[in-house]
């Protein structure tokens, strides 16, 4: 009997010890409660919306001059459009989006010749059509070398670009009603 009580007491002490060591303790400071801080790194790929101002071949790649803008939706779009005096207070933006382009200053990016590019075409309904970067460069200049049924021949439709540091991985034209 004494052995059973001693074993039971030892077991209870062990449970108490394990429970106490795994229970959270009150931090001595906010920093003490946080996990070890890792250095912040930006995402590997950033998406930007804006306007392709030029796409110029240079060797096996292209130089893109890109005018970034903000594609906004919902409450953010409505408030921004009100602040910009594009809509009256409480009116709301059409199609629930608003593009704010505060500056016409362009950034320069590198585009590999094999990057993915799409434009909106109207043949058989609206669709995104993949095109070579070389063809997109011509379209940006107002030409249509393949005679595609382009939704917009002018440069008023924006593009989403996926960028890693200074290299564009893809350029995708955005449909806008």
The residue behind tokens 């101002």 is: 53
pLDDT tens, 74-122?
999 999 999 999 999 999 999 999 999 999 899 999 999 999 999 999 9
Residue by residue, what is the 3-state secondary structure of the chain?
A: CHHHHHHHHHHHHHHHHHHHHHCCCCCCCHHHHCCCCCCCCCCCCEEEEEEEEEEEEECCEEEEEEEEEEEEEHHHHHHHHHHCCCCCCCCCCHHHEEEECCCCCCEEEEEECCCEEEEEECCCCCEEEECCHHHHHHHHCCCCCCCCCECCCCCCCCEEEEEECCEEEEEEECCCC
pLDDT tier at 177, thresholds 50, 70, 90: confident
pLDDT in tens, 114-141: 999 999 999 999 999 999 999 999 999 9
pTM score over 0.95: no
């Amino acid at each position: 009997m004494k052995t059973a009580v001693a074993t039971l007491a030892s077991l209870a002490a062990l449970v108490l010890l394990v429970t106490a060591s795994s229970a959270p303790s009150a931090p001595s400071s906010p920093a003490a409660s946080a996990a070890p801080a890792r250095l912040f790194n930006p995402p590997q790929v950033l998406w930007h919306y804006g306007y392709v101002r030029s796409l110029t071949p240079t060797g096996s790649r292209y130089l893109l001059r890109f005018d970034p803008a903000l594609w906004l939706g919902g409450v953010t779009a409505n408030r921004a459009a009100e602040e910009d005096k594009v809509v009256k207070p409480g009116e709301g933006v059409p199609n629930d989006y608003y593009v704010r382009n505060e500056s016409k200053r362009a950034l320069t990016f590198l585009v590999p010749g094999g990057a993915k590019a799409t434009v909106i075409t109207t043949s058989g309904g609206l669709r995104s059509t993949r095109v070579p970067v070389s063809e997109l460069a011509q379209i940006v200049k107002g030409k249509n070398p393949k005679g595609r049924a382009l939704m917009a021949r002018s440069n008023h439709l924006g593009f989403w670009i996926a960028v890693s540091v200074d290299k564009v991985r893809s350029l995708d034209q955005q449909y806008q009603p």
